[in-house]
Amino acid sequence: MPGRSERPVALVTGCSSGIGLRTVPALSDRGFHVVATMRNAGGRTRPPELEGEHVSVLPLDVRSAGSVRDCVDTVLGTAGRIDVLVNNAGIAPPNFVEEAPLPEWHEVFETNLFGQVTVTNAVLPAMRHAGRGRVVMVSSLSGRVPTPLLGVYSASKSAVESYAETLRLELRGTGVRVALIEPGAFRTGMWHSPMLDADFPKTSPYAGDFARLRAFYRDYIDHHLGDPDRVAQTVARVAAGRGGRRLRHPVGADARTQIALRAALPWAVYERLARALVGLGGRAGKRAGKTEPSDAETVR
């Protein structure tokens, strides 16, 4: 960490890859000194995004209160300020919500929700004391629109949305602003799941649906994922105060379209449309215990 600087300081979580990694140069280009954090900050070759005069790299595990405290104390003790917090760290293991084991639920919420709360609570006293600051939470389209096979992730991001709304209300008048970034589908590590290639239990009542969902997601990954730099640039723009007073900032045509449809359509209509969009079709009630043999045989 450098000493005190005239540059505002941005602390970013989850910078090992994806949106977090690309956000580092985007913020640096906008005049920030960026503190890029990740669980394993040492023992690896750093990508070029983490190099540069105005970038520091520190270890931070959002699931550990001690790790969070050490990181924040280091930044405040050395740089003397944290002007922007970008809560980006997150995980998204795919599974059907009925079959997701409880430890998986705990792991996702510990990272995606409680991790954001822990880091935010550690940073807020300094921001309130300074009378200014910005908390930017990287949520997801899935926080507002249900996503089959990513239900645990969707639930955690829905909680982040509610948390951000409440925090923004409570911080009104303190000089600290809260914003939500809601990316659609972008090319990040969350799509590199072994579940899309591994065997799926043919005895599962969801075996047929999984075969169709996997085909949909494979095609989507191959042809429709966006460039994560678009999200990084939105994060940097909002962090620099160029996002206006809006709470929510959807990123990507899919995010804007699906959020609008979810808000405008009655649930019964939206449900049919959503299932057809991902290749499920038909009535949801058909699948449980009635998976067609031809579908089950293709799940491998």
CB-based contacts of 62, cutoff 8 Å, min separation 6: 13, 14, 68, 89, 111, 115, 116, 118, 119
Catalytic residue (one of 140, 153, 156, 206): 153
Does the annotation count 163 as an active-site position?
Answer: no
Does the annotation count 202 as an active-site position?
Answer: no
β-pair partners for 37: 58
Catalytic residue (one of 157, 158, 163, 217): 157
Nearest to 53 by CA among 7, 104, 106, 121: 7
Burial 31-48 (b: 16+ CB within 10 A, else e): ebbbbbbbbebeeeeeee
Catalytic residue (one of 28, 67, 139, 158): 139
Does the annotation count 270 as an active-site position?
Answer: no
Residue 293 to residue 219: CA distance in whole angstroms: 23
Contact yes or no for 64/15 (Cβ under 8 A)? no
Catalytic residue (one of 16, 28, 140, 156): 16
Distance of CA 134 to the CA centre of its chain: 17
* Ramachandran bin of 175, using left for φ above 0, alpha for ψ from -120 to 50, beta for the remaining angles: left
Does the annotation count 154 as an active-site position?
Answer: no
Nearest to 15 by CA among 197, 174, 189: 189
State the catalytic residues: 16, 139, 153, 157
